[in-house]
């Protein structure tokens, strides 16, 4: 089951994310945030963007969210997307369903482009994104230093909607009706 995250999910989300911080270069965050700071982060994202969790029974086993791509106003039609899933659920379809649901919501909100960053090497993540329609658009060389070495990051993009001459304004996630939201969430 997929649902919208709430601030009360913060600990479960952080429990999934923390090993990626401490044990990998997948994220460039280097210290696990305290729960208060992380809850504020989740709450801030949820105020504007979709932040979804995947439940297996009552347990959150993965999550995906969108966030601001760039600060300047003309960038507002694009979002960065992130996804993290417990390792034992890799390859199970959880990530595919989370992203599918996220992309549908982003289209409904008026976004046109989704961007994902992958630390390399990470062929598994790059192939996953490409399978979902992302294309490689560039590399930032030696852009992050973590775990004792420099890392490149590749950027991928996915076009979410056909471009309009004059796009509508972006909606916040709270502007979707509950019926619209549940129709999308229930479809994945």
Average pLDDT over residues 17-42: 97
Nearest CA-CA partner of 117 in 52, 69, 161, 73: 69
Nearest CA-CA partner of 82 in 123, 119, 131: 119
How confident is the model at residue 188, as a pLDDT? 81
What are φ and ψ of residue 173, in 5° steps?
A: -55, -30
Residue 121: is the preceding peptide bond cis (ω within 30°)?
yes
Residues 6 or more apart in contact with residue 50 via CB below 8 angstroms? 4, 65, 66, 102, 105, 106, 109, 173
Nearest CA-CA partner of 67 in 90, 85, 83: 83
Average pLDDT over residues 56-66: 97
Catalogue all structural domains in the chain, each as residue range(s) with its CATH number: 2-186 (3.40.630.30)
| Element holding 46 (H helix, E strand) | helix 35-46
Q: Which residue has the tokens 């089951």?
A: 1
Distances (CA, A) of 4 to 42, 47, 158: 11, 11, 22
How confident is the model at residue 186, as a pLDDT? 87
Query: From CA 123, how far away is CA 45, in angstroms rounded?
Result: 28
Average pLDDT over residues 42-68: 97
Lowest pLDDT segment from 55-64, 149-158, 168-177: 168-177
Query: From CA 53, how far away is CA 12, in angstroms rounded?
Result: 10
How confident is the model at residue 81, as a pLDDT? 98
Half-sphere exposure of residue 42: CA atoms within 13 angstroms, side-chain side: 24
How confident is the model at residue 170, as a pLDDT? 95
CA 94 to the chain's CA centroid:
13
Helix, strand or coil, per DSSP, at residue 104: helix
Average pLDDT over residues 108-129: 96
């Amino acid at each position: 089951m997929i649902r919208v995250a709430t601030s009360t999910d913060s600990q479960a989300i952080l429990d999934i994310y923390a090993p990626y911080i401490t044990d990998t270069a997948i994220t460039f965050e280097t210290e696990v945030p305290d729960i208060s700071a992380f809850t504020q982060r989740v709450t801030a994202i949820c105020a504007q963007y979709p932040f979804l969790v995947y439940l297996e029974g009552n347990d959150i086993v993965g999550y995906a969210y969108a966030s601001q791509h760039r600060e300047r106003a003309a960038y507002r039609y694009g979002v960065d997307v992130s996804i993290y899933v417990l390792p034992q659920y890799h390859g199970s379809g959880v990530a595919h369903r989370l992203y599918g649901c996220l992309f549908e919501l982003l289209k409904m909100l008026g976004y046109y482009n989704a961007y994902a960053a992958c630390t390399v090497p990470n062929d598994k993540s790059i192939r996953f994104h490409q399978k979902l329609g992302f294309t490689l658009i560039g590399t930032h060389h030696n852009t992050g230093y973590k775990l004792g070495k420099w890392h490149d990051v590749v950027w991928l993009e996915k076009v979410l909607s056909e471009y309009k001459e004059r796009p509508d304004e972006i909606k916040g996630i709270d502007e979707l009706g509950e019926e619209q939201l549940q129709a999308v969430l229930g479809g994945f």
